Chain A
Amino acid sequence: METYRIEDVVFAFPEKEKEALSHISLTIKSGEFITICGKSGCGKSTLLRQLKSILTPHGKRSGKIYFCGQPIEEVDQRTQASEIGFVLQNPDNQIVTDKVWHELAFGLESLGCDSATIRLRVAEMASFFGIHTWFRKNVSELSGGQKQLLNLASIMAMHPSVLILDEPTSQLDPIAASDFLETVKKINRELGTTIIMTEHRLEEIIPITDRLIVMDEGAIIAEGLPEHVGAALNRMKHPMFLSMPTPMQIHAGVSSGLPSPVTVKDGRQWLNAYMSGKTPVAIDIIEDSPKQASAPVIQFKDVWFKHDRNGPDVIKDLTFTVEAGQFYCLVGGNGTGKTTTLSLMSGILQPYRGKILIGGKNPLKMNVKELFTNNVGILPQNPQTLFVKKTVRLDLYEMLSQTALTKEEKASMIDEMVAFAELDHLLDIHPYDLSGGEQQRAALAKVLLLEPRVLLLDEPTKGLDGFFKEKLARFLQKLNASGVTIVMVSHDVEFCAKYGEICSMFFDGSMITTNTAIRFFAGNSFYTTAANRMARHIWSDGVTIEGVIERCQKSR
């Protein structure tokens, strides 16, 4: 039985020449687990929204979409509401009411179920999802992961036959994201619900995917079993191949004649098979010769911090130094004090014991101008918090409104920044109409207009796809090369391993280890990159994909 049959669908937004979807044909069988990937703006969200009439954006569509054999336009709203579940990206935005139990019941109330039915279904869902312990809580007390789980549960309470998820984990931290994906897997396996999902985190989702679909420029460019799609992308030399799981990429970089692994476990076995009879080559870590003892830019000396007098210590006896020109990454789990440390650096919070020096001075004693002009710049986690005006251009000018520059000086500064951040084609757009990656660049440009010497970044890769991450990395490297010190808080282990210079692990309010990126990840056995987990039994210092491929190729 098929859930969806999509026949030659073409879709264009109003007043746009370019087709957002071009000639999509697809059949989705009942119970299948489908993952759709592609870089932002490739049309995956637009495609998903075609699958439920009420969410379909304005525009012109041709072609046919059948839901369970019936044209989707003819399926009545009540059936669509209950049969087609749709989870959106932002966990916060989807919650309507203020209580967990009410949120769970919301859809059933709309369907007009009686109290007894709702009571039963809500109870079932709460037990299935493990929500019963926070069933009566206020929504505002939940964590991001719990919120997204609640969204999923409140949709599952309507017993949909198909579940559509649009990048559901992009706003979650890695642990919450795996929990969430695990639950989706459970729904697919135990309830037989059809799953159609778009996702950037392919590493975890591909092993459970039945069929992977890759989109580019509104068209499907590859589809089939994940291994086959990976191979096809590799043949096409398509940039999306860089988003495939690490074992696949390593496999593709080494000609072995063996079938492609998908998970780290498969990857290890593949590597063992490949290496049998060969002697692993050791490659010395070539570290950049330590930069000539540069001046410390940020110094923490025995810093302690807590939010209120009787509260627990959030930062405990933290001591470290960031030197000028470093690219410093702070990694670690949720609630270990990473973001708090960043706030301490910017003077938003102050320690109750110990000393913090920025460029040799206490940030709390500097005035605003001294601290934030030509000194410290901060890119907040949510770039939207910086946008004030109705176009990107006005927003950039707003940043210079309080300076004493002449009109020409301002214009030239902004032109330079626009060229640097590649914003020229986005200048007249409303900041909220930009994609996540573009918003990030616009916000970065705003912060950089203050010409900081130290740039603090809070989770800059959150919600970005591989392509935009790459782009962000290039900007950061360019800045770093021009002498800007970068301190970054991140959950993104792969990103830190690839681009970071120094990495520090946070745990329980202080730093556990600090080392250069490669040595740092080589020294961890669990909190490390997928490439390292796959190859560490042979090369503990193989941290990046490129590093492992090189070692494989050189081994004879």
Chain B
Amino acid sequence: MPEKPLAGSRLSRRTWLAAVLILVVIPATIVFGIVVLDDRKYYFISLLIVLYTMIPFALVFEKRKPQARELIVIAVLAAIAVAGRSAFFMLPQFKPVVAIVIIAGVSFGAEAGFLVGATAGFVSNFFFGQGPWTPWQMFCFGIIGFLAGILFQKGLLKKTKLSLCVFGGLSTFFVYGGIINAGSVTMFSSEFSWKTLAASYVSGFWFDIVHASATVLFLFVLARPMLEKLDRIKTKYGLIEPGGK
């Protein structure tokens, strides 16, 4: 069956698309921003770039006509993340979303990890309110799921508590915190400077620490049972098993 080559071409198509975006469209956007918008609209430009990075995932996913069970697994995991986010709504930054996204990435691969993260980020804002932060959140959650999947595939991330917790803590603090804080600078002040960026990191420090420790705690308790459950579902019902019926 032509499953393997399909997977190969899928990867290359995304790489190709990503290459076009990175080499052509993103520089073009920046040039457009500098020339036309007088180099002042950081939020606008960064927003476009964030959106570009998500497009290849969406296009590739649509292109390969995913099966019902793939949609279901992604939807269920994203919904659990959103429900989890609202279940802990009274504790600011104490959210299980990143933990669930990482588990999804490890269990179902980088693409599923990205989609679960981005979907959770997007749909949760239907309940909490959309705003200029939505694309940033989508991107951050998505990219953490993507990283988890890639690192697991490369053998750098293991299914052990320690490995997952370390990755969870670091990725929440540096990837999520790092990007969101930079994003909020572009949102709040149209003037970009290293000082404002530094100020934003300082003011966000404790939030990020809480968020990261929440992720670590959730992964510490949930990672093993959740991964077991997902494995059970995969074997019992042959979910996400390309081509099979």
Interface residues of A (CB under 8 A from B): 58, 390, 430
The 8 A CB mask of B225-245 against A (1 = contact, 0 = none) is 000100010000010000000
**Complex CA–CA separation, A58 to B228 (angstroms):** 22
| CB-based nearest B residue for A430 | B232
Residues of B within 8 A of A58 (CB): 238
Residues of A within 8 A of B232 (CB): 390, 430
Residues of B within 8 A of A430 (CB): 232
| CB-based nearest B residue for A388 | B225
**Complex CA–CA separation, A430 to B235 (angstroms):** 14
Interface residues of B (CB under 8 A from A): 228, 232, 238
| CB-based nearest B residue for A433 | B236
**Complex CA–CA separation, A430 to B228 (angstroms):** 12
**Complex CA–CA separation, A390 to B225 (angstroms):** 9
* Shortest CB distance B125–A (Å): 16
Residues of B within 8 A of A390 (CB): 228, 232
**Complex CA–CA separation, A146 to B196 (angstroms):** 55
Residues of A within 8 A of B238 (CB): 58
| CB-based nearest B residue for A54 | B245
Sampled A-B contacts (4; CB under 8 Å): A58-B238, A390-B228, A390-B232, A430-B232
**Complex CA–CA separation, A430 to B236 (angstroms):** 11
* Shortest CB distance B233–A (Å): 10
| CB-based nearest A residue for B68 | A96
* Shortest CB distance B205–A (Å): 37
| CB-based nearest B residue for A389 | B225
**Complex CA–CA separation, A58 to B238 (angstroms):** 10
| CB-based nearest B residue for A390 | B228
* Shortest CB distance B42–A (Å): 36
* Shortest CB distance A428–B (Å): 14
Residues of A within 8 A of B228 (CB): 390
Q: Closest 4 A-B residue pairs measured CB to CB?
A: A390-B228, A430-B232, A390-B232, A58-B238
| CB-based nearest B residue for A57 | B237
**Complex CA–CA separation, A58 to B232 (angstroms):** 16
* Shortest CB distance B225–A (Å): 8
**Complex CA–CA separation, A430 to B229 (angstroms):** 11
**Complex CA–CA separation, A159 to B238 (angstroms):** 31
| CB-based nearest A residue for B229 | A390
* Shortest CB distance B49–A (Å): 31
**Complex CA–CA separation, A390 to B228 (angstroms):** 9
* Shortest CB distance B82–A (Å): 13
**Complex CA–CA separation, A115 to B238 (angstroms):** 34
**Complex CA–CA separation, A328 to B228 (angstroms):** 41
* Shortest CB distance B1–A (Å): 18
**Complex CA–CA separation, A50 to B169 (angstroms):** 49
**Complex CA–CA separation, A430 to B238 (angstroms):** 17
| CB-based nearest A residue for B72 | A96
| CB-based nearest A residue for B75 | A96
**Complex CA–CA separation, A527 to B45 (angstroms):** 69
* Shortest CB distance B92–A (Å): 26
* Shortest CB distance B70–A (Å): 14
| CB-based nearest B residue for A110 | B68
| CB-based nearest B residue for A58 | B238
**Complex CA–CA separation, A58 to B244 (angstroms):** 11
* Shortest CB distance B62–A (Å): 15
| CB-based nearest A residue for B244 | A58
* Shortest CB distance A56–B (Å): 10
**Complex CA–CA separation, A390 to B232 (angstroms):** 10
* Shortest CB distance A13–B (Å): 12
* Shortest CB distance B124–A (Å): 15
**Complex CA–CA separation, A58 to B236 (angstroms):** 10
* Shortest CB distance A76–B (Å): 14
**Complex CA–CA separation, A390 to B236 (angstroms):** 13
**Complex CA–CA separation, A430 to B232 (angstroms):** 10
**Complex CA–CA separation, A298 to B55 (angstroms):** 62
* Shortest CB distance A92–B (Å): 13
**Complex CA–CA separation, A144 to B238 (angstroms):** 30
**Complex CA–CA separation, A390 to B238 (angstroms):** 19
* Shortest CB distance B20–A (Å): 32
**Complex CA–CA separation, A372 to B232 (angstroms):** 33
| CB-based nearest A residue for B71 | A96
* Shortest CB distance B156–A (Å): 28
* Shortest CB distance A50–B (Å): 15
**Complex CA–CA separation, A430 to B231 (angstroms):** 13
* Shortest CB distance B243–A (Å): 15
